Amino acid sequence: MADAPIRIILAKLGLDGHDRGIKVVARILRDSGMEVIYLGLRQTTDTIISAAEEEDVDAIGLSMHNASHMTLAPAMVEAVRAAGLETPVIVGGIVPDEDLEPLAAAGVAAVLGPGSSAEEVAATVRQAVNTNR
């Protein structure tokens, strides 16, 4: 089980259309051996939860560039828990330092900021998944 490749959903939650970062991250994670399910733009917590159940994923990665992370990331964590799942939620994008602690307190497993290297991105996902497994 531990040797099975990590399966991760990547999605843009809400209206934010900045998809440069998430597409780069998707390729980084694929190159490092993970199975990436990219849901694309304009997803809701509901569409992400149903995909997470259907695809039996190990992690959910959200990308946020519109300063909506303080509202939408905790909402995602809540939706995961309400669905009876324990899937870790990882946030990438533009997140000011002072938001890191409140996001962690809200149950976000990890935050990847601008300038993260490919190795950091893959390692962060692995760690979040392994902590959870």
Contact footprint for another protein (CB under 8 A): 14-17, 19-20, 23-24, 26-28, 30, 36, 38-42, 66-68, 70-72, 75, 94, 96-98, 113-115, 117-118
Nearer to another protein, 94 or 123 (CB): 94
* Pairing label, strands 59-64, 7-13: parallel
Q: For the purposes of burial, counting CB atoms within 10 Å of the CB of 89, is it exposed (0-12), middle (13-18) or buried (19 or more)? A: buried
- Find out whether 8 and 63 touch, Cβ atoms under 8 Å: no
Nearer to another protein, 37 or 83 (CB): 37
Shortest spacing between CB 1 and another protein, in angstroms = 27
Nearer to another protein, 42 or 133 (CB): 42
Shortest spacing between CB 27 and another protein, in angstroms = 5
The continuous run of DSSP H or E covering 102 comes out as helix 100-105
Shortest spacing between CB 14 and another protein, in angstroms = 6
* Cα first-last separation, the chain: 10
